[in-house]
Structure 1
Amino acid sequence: MNKKLEKYKEFIDEVVSLKGAATSKWVARGLYPETKENEYRNEVLSSLSAAQREEIAKIVQEAKESGMHDLLAFLNQECSVTYQGTELPYEPFGTELNYDFVARSEGDKWPQ
């Protein structure tokens, strides 16, 4: 497989590995880091049930992934992407960066 295609796959997989939101985990457990700035947030979170916190945590996670998706869509339309010194091919599988991000996030295998 050519180097550019390998780097494309590495790039997408690296982006997928970054999709977890620490804030989502904090919301789910009901506790942001204990700082003065987070006192009110922690107060609000402590007033919610575990099911409510879990639902809000899902919303927070979806918001992060949506932002990543939108950035990849923008890069795909408006930019060329260089990753670790290699210019990535444009839509090597006939799909956009953001589509490949979603597919890999859902556990799809790379096309042949």
Structure 2
Amino acid sequence: MSSLEEYKTLIDKFVNASTSPLAEKLRQNTFSEEEKINHALLALTPEQKTLVADLLDNARVSGIHATLAILSEMQNLQAMKITINEQEIPIEPFGTELHFDYIARKAGDDWPA
């Protein structure tokens, strides 16, 4: 796999990891092992459960975005390199930062040609 393909795969792995496992448990009504949490979650309406699950997903996306922003900053300001399968991935191969590419892919955008 080329270094560009490794870059794309890395970003897409973050996109695929964007759903919070806790949010999925909430959506499936399989909550926590803590009785207090289960009691509180069982009191929620389906709409409230959806809202809380969406908030959990948004928090996860925000955390991934912040992490990728820090990595991009370190690549640009501190010459940090990311190596995958002994290949250095390119820095901003499409003229955009890691976190921008992540959000674009998360929104369903195709990779630039």
RMSD of the alignment, in Å? 1.5
Match of 1:63 in 2: 59
CA distance in 1, matches of 2:84, 2:106: 19
TM-score under structure 1 length normalisation: 0.88
1:51 paired to 2:47: yes
**5+ residue gaps in structure 2?**
75-79
TM-score under structure 2 length normalisation: 0.88
Structure 1 moving runs of 4+ over 6 Å: none
Give the 5 Å matches for 1:28-43: 28-33=27-32, 35=33, 38-43=34-39
Match of 1:97 in 2: 98
Paired-residue identity, %: 34
Letter in 2 for 1:71: T
**5+ residue gaps in structure 1?**
none
CA distance in 1, matches of 2:37, 2:50: 15
Map Cα deviations across residues 24-78 of structure 1 (whole Å, 9 max, x no partner): 1122334314x3xx21111000111010110010000000010000000000111
Letter in 2 for 1:29: Q
Number of matched pairs: 108
Match of 1:13 in 2: 12
Match of 1:73 in 2: 69
Between 57-66 and 14-23, the greater mean CA deviation after superposition: 14-23
